[in-house]
Structure 1
Amino acid sequence: MRAPRLRLPAWTATLTWKAAVFIAVMCCALAALLGVLVHVSVTGQTVHDAREKALTRLTEVTRLYEAGEPLPRFSGIDPEGLPASLRALAARGEHGTMVANHEGRPTMWAAGPADGRALAVRFDYTQSAETIDALDRSILGSSVLAIGATLLVGAFAVTRVTRRLHLTAQVARRISAGDLDARVNDPRTEDPSRPQDEVATVSGALDTMASSLQRKLQSEQRFTADVAHELRTPLTGLSAAAELLPDGRPSELVQDRVKAMRDLTEDLLEISRLDARNEAVDLAVHELGPLAARVVRASGTPTEVRVVRDATVETDRRRLERVLGNLIANAHKHGAPPVVVTVDGPTVTVRDHGPGYPAYLLASGPQRFRTENGGKGHGLGLTIAVGQAEVIGAELVFANGEGEEDGGNGENSGSGENSGSKADGGSGGAVARLRLPEYVSLADPPVAED
């Protein structure tokens, strides 16, 4: 059995964490290297001075021994405590020094040959050993302080960079959500005389892109609105003139096409208002079940309404009716009967039993002026439904059913725009689910259920 892979916390992937780890590792490595170099250098120099001192004393004691004079108390022949290795070295006729413990204290020994025995001298090495230990503690303490100070300074510098990156990412998300007025406004990009780093370059490029995109979209919105407004007047006259034509098939065709053009013009105007994002919402409290039934009756279509659980919602009735009306009309135009509208709490589902939504709609949502297989329609119905749902704070989700039952279970049910192209698993029909924010009255106490 394969062991589960250990996953690190999400914060370990941040740039601040990585920079802190890198700085800490580099500081530790540098401190260790410098500490070792200083320790080796100072220890070597201290030992060298002690050896020179010991050998000098050994030379003086050797001269006294050869002259037959009494030896100082810090010297002797084969004295007690002389390290065995140093004794053996002197027995071979060589001179040497060694640091060893004598009577519990560090001692520097120096020994040389004397008539087949070892003539040795010693002196206290405690102060030199304590000096080296104090140096090691100083190196360790200063290294810790240096690492801490470097981490603080590095974290401060990196945090300033990451904060600017987070701000840039936040502005990018706001732009992708539709707020085209969002800008980073990095002061380094506004003042050309100031040096620019990589973050400032990215921020400036994002602001430039957002400005260009805003100008382009505003130009398209103005063009759409201007075209729709310019078409309204001649279409009104054309509609009036078409009603004066004598009855017959040509008159019906003309009136039908004029009506289609007027509907398209009104849809274009509505989309231009939605794109401008300046729509005012008229909120009120409504019962969702009766409102859905009223929309079905107004549509004049054979649509079944099922209320599993009614709910009270606070919404804009006109916009909600527009959304439901578009979904129902789209289901009858592009789907197949029966079309069922189900109310289950604050969720309304509209479902047909046609081939389902096309794959592009499920992947990226409705697209304007796109139809499948030459189907009728201009692709604005569901686009308007999505826009109006966003205005009233509702969630509109499109899916294809998988052989689901239409019983009162509150499952997704809906309509498919231009669904002549059968999507994968579309045999269950097209499903559109509209979830509204439910209204909760603070004056009504909660009811306990068994």
Structure 2
Amino acid sequence: MRLGLPQWAGTLAVKAAVFITVMCCALAALLGVLVHVSVTNQTVGQARELALSRLEDATAAFEAGDALRRGVAVDPPELPDSLRELAVAGERGTMVAEYRGRPTMWAAGPADGSRALAVEVDYSQQARTIEGLDRAILWSSGLAIGATLLVGAFAVTRVTRRLHATARVARRISGGDLDARVDDPRTKDPTRPQDEVAAVAAALDSMASSLQSKLLAEQRFTADVAHELRTPLTGLHAAAELLPAGRPTELVRDRVAALRTLTEDLLEISRLDTGRERSELDTEPLAALAERVVRASGTETEVVVVRDVVVETDRRRLERVLGNLVANAHKHGRGPVSLTVDGPVVTVRDHGVGYPEYLVAHGPQRFRTEGGAKGHGLGLTIALGQAEVLGARLTFANAADGGAVATLELR
């Protein structure tokens, strides 16, 4: 689930945004606490010095027998108990407490040994100053976090957008589009600063160009070999027809026919590799087409029609796909072989040892064999290529109770 993020966003952008936010909040909290503590200590210190100065003057006046000024009293009932006990014990001290609904700085000291002389100083202005400072810290921290997050998100999304474009091109290349390129402008302008994303894009473009060159060379080689073989094989076929009847002649004709089939398969693969093959669409009842393919194969294949459907497809190419699947099931599997039509899905199944693991995982690969076993030739490769031309999806799997299962999903 992408949680409504735009296409260029992803977990990297989310993680970066969360990291930036957490770091900004931590930094803002640290700075806010430091400023709050520093200013509060300074403000409280100034108020304490003022209160102690007034207490000293009041003590001198009390000892001289002068009248006490306003805000000075002996044992006032509002004096905090802890401060009263400190003064009675012969010490001087200060404390901030609520008095008449407003914050007050109290200063107290000993009066005559058993009583406390107390001075009250209005602390409202200092308290409002600290509260205003705290609000300013919160607002400025919020604005700083928001601005930093926006700038950080802009910078991160520029990187993630480029990474997303590179990943999209990589997926296109893995899907067979070897013309896809990232074309990052940084890789073409040496005056611009190069970063890791540009290095990855340049490496991907270089890899795609190299891979495309090798595949084109392989395709040209396959096509050239197939074309060059056609002429001598035609002459060889004609010569084989002139041989006298007998077992050796049958063997020669059989091998010549196999070579001609292999040459035609190579030519068909070379045409499919070019990517220029186009289907000629027509409407066909799928069940009737499947039965026609089985009859043409000359094999004992059971046709099961669960649900017939009329499909718009290229009849010749579809017959080629199904014919190759049926032929492969009989050649490399064991009977019984069945072809099942269930709507636009056609399944060909045998009861042999199943497909090799590499084929199930990665699809058919030309001429590949494993462990000395007989390979699957070019039939499945051609079936897969023709299915792609049809816009169909051909998958290979092994049944739980044994046997190979090829599933063709027409669209």
> Is the Cα–Cα contact under 8 Å of residues 51 and 106 in structure 2 kept in the other structure?
yes
Change (3 A) 1:108 1:338: closer
Name which of 156, 160, 183 aligns with 1:162: 160
Contact kept, 8 Å, 2:10 with 2:160, in 1: the verdict is no
For the structure 1 residues 62 and 379, does the alpha-carbon distance in structure 2 shift closer, same or farther, using more than 3 Å as the test? Answer: same
Map of 1:282-431 to 2, 5 A cutoff?
282-371=280-369, 379-402=377-400, 425-426=401-402, 429-431=403-405
Higher alpha-carbon deviation: 295-304 or 226-235: 295-304
Q: Which of 411, 421, 434 matches 2:408?
A: 434
- State the partner residue of 1:98: 95
State the secondary structure of the residue aligned to 2:18. helix
Aligned to 1:239: 237
- Taking the TM superposition and a 5 Å limit, the aligned residue runs for 1:22-421 are 22-116=19-113, 117-371=115-369, 379-402=377-400
Counterpart-to-counterpart distance in 2, 1:139 and 1:373:
74
1:433 maps to a residue whose letter is: T
User: Is the aligned partner of 1:15 residue 2:12?
Assistant: yes
Shift of 1:123: 1.9
Instruction: Please report how far the alpha carbon of residue 243 of structure 1 lies from its aligned counterpart in structure 2 after TM superposition.
Output: 2.4
Structure 2: where are the runs of 5+ without partners?
Answer: none
* Residues 325 and 383 in structure 2, CA contact (< 8 A), matched pair in contact too: yes
Deviation at 1:32, TM superposition (A): 1.3
TM-score (norm 2): 0.91
Of 53-62 and 243-252, more deviation after overlay is shown by 243-252
User: Match of 2:252, SS?
Assistant: helix
Equivalent residue letter for 1:210 = A
Q: 1:56 to 1:312 in 2, by over 3 A?
A: same
Q: How many residues align?
A: 407
Residues 244 and 42 of structure 1: CA distance in aligned 2, closer, same or farther (over 3 Å): same
Aligned structure 1 segments of 4 or more residues deviating by more than 4 angstroms: 7-13, 371-378
Q: Which amino acid is 1:100 matched to?
A: A
One-letter amino acid of the structure 1 residue matched with residue 15 of structure 2: K
Q: CA deviation at 1:320?
A: 0.5
SS at match of 1:368: coil
How many Å separate the matches in 2 of 1:175 and 1:118?
89
Please tell me the root mean square deviation across aligned C-alpha atoms, in Å. Answer: 2.5
One-letter code aligned to 1:107:
T
1:69 CA displacement? 2.7
Structure 2 vs 1, CA of residues 277 and 63 (structure 1 numbering), >3 Å: closer, same or farther?
Answer: same
User: What is the SS of the residue equivalent to 1:292?
Assistant: helix
Q: State the shift of 1:15 in Å.
A: 1.4
What 5-or-longer segments of structure 1 have no aligned partner? 1-6, 403-424, 438-450
CA distance in 2, matches of 1:266, 1:45: 95
Q: Output the CA distance in 1 between the equivalents of 2:2 and 2:276.
A: 45
Change beyond 3 A, Cα 1:91–1:182: same
Q: Deviations over 1:374-423 (max 9, x none)?
A: 67776101111111112102222323345xxxxxxxxxxxxxxxxxxxxx
Secondary structure of 1:110's counterpart equals strand
Residue 430 of structure 1 deviates from its aligned partner by 3.0
Deviations for 1:13-65, whole angstroms, at most 9, x for unmatched residues?
81122222222221121111111111111011111111111122222223333
CA distance in 2, matches of 1:123, 1:186: 70
Provide the rounded CA distance (Å) in 1 between the counterparts of 2:337 and 2:77: 111
